[in-house]
Amino acid sequence: MTRILHLSDTHVSASGTDMDGVDAVAALEGILRDARHVPGLDAVVVSGDIADDGSAAGCRAVLERVGAFAAERGIPHLYSTGNHDARGPFREVLGSGHRDADGSDRGRLLDPDSDLCAAVSFLGDLRVITLDSLVPGQTHGFLDEHQLASLAAELATPTRDGTVLVLHHPPLHVASLPYVAGVVLRNISALGRVVRGSDVRAVLTGHLHFQVSGFLAGIPVWVTPGIVTRIDTTAPPHLVRGVLGAGATVVDLADPASPTFHVISARDPRAGEQVYLYDPVSGEDSLEPL
């Protein structure tokens, strides 16, 4: 069995807070503190929006804390880019995005001639591929034809325990929340064509700040809740309500009933406290009563 602690959306800036003034460092430290008793972890994965401001300082703050957690357990830690990240600072601090327990770079770039932050490494016989769905200046994600071709070439050789894909933008739509269609991966069907019939066992994503699951070409897709804030989907469906309360996922890959996804939440006396409420169509804060 392979067990992964899946984090996402740390949103740590150079100052330590996110754009809404939330103490992102404290949120990350809180979930890592409460995850310390999770047994048998083989890796930590952080699926994007590492740095809220795209800064090297933000990336470094996350690396220090996640790296220390991983080093204590002797396990690797892997990172992918999100829409808030910037490729230059990401590469400067995180390299390929695949780090060993001792901090050394263990990843092989999916395309060494590209500036994309996409890489591959192995957890035993399980292959983990991080993809780069970042579109600078945009909230949605996209995988260009060149990256998809590189992924197809890598998947052409199956591995004994299969493959896990990690990217920031979910290749999913959520029918009950229409605004989600504008922020997820833009070319879902193109990725589906590449992974169909491959050895991919799970696709791990973030970005939405709430947990949800679905399928892509018959493969389970999981969206883990955010670290810095959680989107409260009990709000009216035309509004987006962000609240405090860091969450993460324990992903188990074992036969025969795998993968399984188990959400854990940081203990926080302020969990559920509203941070923002806005209308994604107008982009304005909502004045509706709660």
Q: How does pLDDT run across 152-161, given as a tens digit for each residue?
A: 999 999 999 9
Gyration radius from the chain CA atoms: 18
2-285: CATH topology: Purple Acid Phosphatase; chain A, domain 2 (3.60.21)
pLDDT band at 286 (very low <50, low <70, confident <90, very high): low
Segment among 95-99, 175-179, 217-221 with least mean pLDDT? 175-179
pTM above 0.95, yes or no: yes
pLDDT for residue 290 is more than 90: no
Q: How far apart are CA 159 and CA 215, in angstroms?
A: 21
Domain extent listing, the chain = 2-285
Summarised one tens digit per residue, pLDDT across range 229-278 is 999 999 998 899 999 999 999 999 987 778 999 999 999 999 999 999 99
Q: Please state, for a pLDDT cut of 70, what percent of the chain lies above it.
A: 98
Q: From residue 196, give the alpha-carbon distance in Å to each of 160, 193, 289.
A: 17, 5, 45
pLDDT band at 194 (very low <50, low <70, confident <90, very high): very high
pLDDT band at 282 (very low <50, low <70, confident <90, very high): confident
pLDDT band at 288 (very low <50, low <70, confident <90, very high): low
Q: How far apart are CA 284 and CA 277, in angstroms?
A: 9
Segment among 79-83, 217-221, 239-243, 283-287 with least mean pLDDT? 283-287
Q: How far apart are CA 178 and CA 238, in angstroms?
A: 8
Query: Residue type for 267, please?
Result: R
Q: Report, as an integer, the average pLDDT of 147-170.
A: 97
Q: How far apart are CA 143 and CA 135, in angstroms?
A: 9
Segment among 10-14, 127-131, 274-278 with least mean pLDDT? 274-278
